[in-house]
Amino acid sequence: MKNKKFITLGFASASLALALLFSTNVFASSAKAEATKEASRLQALAKFTKVISIVEQYNVDSVTIEDLMDKALEGMLSNLDAHSNYLKQKDYKQLKVQTNGEFGGLGITVGVRNGALTVIAPIEGTPAAKAGLQSGDIILKINDESTLNMTIDEAVLIMRGKVGEPIDLMIIREGELKPLTIHIIRGIITIQSVYAKTIGDDILYLRVTSFDKKVAEDVTKEINKRKATTKGIILDLRNNPGGLLDQAVDLVDIFVDKGDIVSQKGRNEADAKTYTASKSKTITNVPMVVLINGGSASASEIVSGSLQDHKRAILVGQKTFGKGSVQVILPITEDEAIKLTIARYYLPSGRTIQAVGVNPDIEVFPGEVNTKKNNFSIKESDLKKHLEEELIKVDGNETIKEEKEALEEAKKGIITPEMMNKDIQLKEGVDIIKALIIIKG
């Protein structure tokens, strides 16, 4: 018995000794790995410093250490992935403008056509429209600065400024013999991201062009304004490049009353987060169709994919862009920041968007509806002695059964059948909504 006890204790002591030896080896191995890692980091930093020093000293053109560091940061972040980048002062300022949704400026959309800075369109009611700028005007000078070889970003940065400050644009206009100078006073330009129209008596069409800080609020207002008559909603997210995550979440929450909306997972556990729907924020349960295409990205993919997973909407159009990563803006100075990818998005079903995109339930390619009439068909009205059009009474007034409402349909805020025939994806969405309304009763 004593021997047995001795043997047991012996084994216990041996196990403890082995455990201590293993722990010591693991600790030593871990410390060695950490030391190697630190040495590697120091070598890399020394190499970087050496290269900076050599370029500063021997480059053919004089370049400052500040410029070299900026170029190094730009190169480093742009090579991480397609969405990470270094934001210098003007880039950081531009980003703030986009997310805030308003700025001091002129109110024009510009582009480069045949190498010339051209006005695509002035925005209605803005200083540019009031001053008489027209679509197709070519901008030769902004104040006294020539636009030759000027990028769109550079031009936009010059044209934006403090509200109330004047600016002169020298333009060439078709039909004019000499350049014109347009004097404009900068005003507050509000970027409208939500457009609402009606289709027929009971369908609400909502177009969201980007996800700025007021999207969910504006959509809520439009729905509440027409809630009594709306039996179906078409949400148009085509060519929507995305924007703020919280606005995408809040937009889904308007239509979904429970369950996950989207989750994000990254390298660090602190970056993992799940966003869920709240019943108190849901304001409608009418049938929905969401229009998407290859230009629908990021936040618009979260909205469309989440509504699809919840079986809350039917997706019509084409496969989306496939941008399912999470970027954060991390300021490094008061005027500069870095945009860094920290996580990936996952839809309620667990599927990812990144490099995959969201597939529509019904694929429809863009184009027009074939509306060619068959001139050889014969109808009742073509027969001799056909019965006349039936007259019915509406609110006590006699009216023809098929009233012509072309003038009413042409009013602002109404999508006419002619407009739908030029957009087959929208037409398909409307037909689906009509069917869903009939089924719902």
Instruction: Tell me the catalytic residues.
Output: 298, 309, 323
Contact 288, 232 (CB under 8 A): yes
Q: Under a CB-based contact definition with an 8 Å cutoff, are residues 314 and 62 in contact? A: no
DSSP 387: P
Contact 355, 297 (CB under 8 A): no
Q: Measure the CA–CA gap between 54 and 427, rounded to whole angstroms.
A: 63
Phi-psi region of 355 (alpha: psi -120 to 50; beta: other; left: phi over 0): left
Q: For the chain, percent helix, then strand, then coil, each to nearest 5?
A: 35, 25, 35
Strands 325-331 and 337-346: antiparallel
Q: Which of 328, 282, 274, 330 is nearest to 302 (CA)?
A: 274
Instruction: Name the amino acid, one letter, at 11.
Output: F
Packed helices 2-58 and 65-78: angle between N→C axes, nearest 10 degrees: 130
Which 8-state DSSP code applies to residue 388?
P
Q: How many CB atoms lie within 10 A of CB 303?
A: 31
CA distances from 258 to 159, 255, 269, 280, 310 (A): 46, 10, 25, 10, 9
Q: How far apart are CA 265 and CA 352, in angstroms?
A: 11
227 neighbors 284 (Cβ within 8 angstroms): yes
